[in-house]
Amino acid sequence: MRDKVDAFLAEEMTAPLLRRAQEQVRISVQVVDEALERYRPEEISISYNGGKDCLVMLIVLLACYARRYSPPKSVAGANLQNGAPKLPPFPETLHSVYIVSADPFAEVDDFVEKSSAMYHLDVARFTLPMKKGLEVFKAQNPSVRAIFVGTRRTDPHGEKLKHFDPTDAGWPDFMRIHPVIDWHYTEIWAFTRHLDIPYCCLYDQGYTSLGGRRDTLPNPRLKKQGDERDFRPAYELIEDDEERLGRYK
């Protein structure tokens, strides 16, 4: 992931959308680096539900981890022989909390399981309301002080969030970190597709915002003409304010 992100940032982009995505990555890297200065690895977790936004957040986070911590032993030995500075060991896993939607999509659960294994996430899965799930997670992981969250400005309750926000009164005590808060919908997809990052298959079926089966449908803006059951992929949507048109809430 570090190599992919570094190559993306170094590339001379001609498309304005990709240039904007590059700038968003640079800002997100600054936010993540500040968080890694404030908190030790055992104090950090991420909120991970397999969605496109938290996936981009995760990729940037992993790239930043790889700059700060040493790679696996076989690679680390080669680096030391080349005179590279010795770094702290890379954390074996990353604490993650997955609050499962009511009546979840099997495709989402499957993607969370597969991607968690791919990226070495230690996922705590809760079929509870978010507040209660975070309370249980905090009780099980008392050392965790900060949670990276993939919320964006156009999400519900995202309008006034900053890069660093403590949880509200009455909620478990965490620092919420929002590296992708100011990314636009099209920038999320430009980054994901340019880096060829695997994502949940539902996005290719016209879903643009994933909840549970009871409250999520394919986005009507992506419906193909002449076929009521066929939809264009999520990355063809343009407007931020149309992202949640397939959600009932």
Does the pLDDT of residue 161 top 90, yes or no? yes
Instruction: Please check the confidence at residue 79 and state whether its pLDDT lies above 80.
Output: no
**Mapping DSSP to helix (H, G, I), strand (E, B) and coil, where does residue 35 land?**
helix
- Count the residues in the chain: 249
Top CATH class, 2-69+89-186: alpha beta
**Rounded CA separation 65/190 (Å):** 23
Cα separation values, 110 from 9, 26, 114, Å: 31, 31, 6
Strand duo 94-99 + 44-47: pairing: parallel
Q: Across-strand partners of 123?
A: 96
**pTM score of the predicted model:** 0.91
Residue 116, H or E segment: helix 106-118
Over residues 89-127, the pLDDT tens digits come to: 767 778 999 999 989 999 999 999 999 999 999 999 999
**For the chain, which residues make up each domain, given as ranges?**
2-69+89-186
pLDDT at 69: 82
- Distances in Å between the Cα of 100 and the Cα atoms of 13, 83, 142, 230, 241 are 38, 46, 21, 27, 25
- Are 185 and 240 in contact by the 8 Å Cβ rule? The answer is yes
What would the two tokens of residue 114 be? 């597969």
Residues whose CB falls within 8 Å of the CB of residue 18, separated by 6 or more in sequence, listed in order: 11, 190, 194
Position 190 scores a pLDDT of 98
The helix (run of H) or strand (run of E) holding residue 46 is: strand 44-47
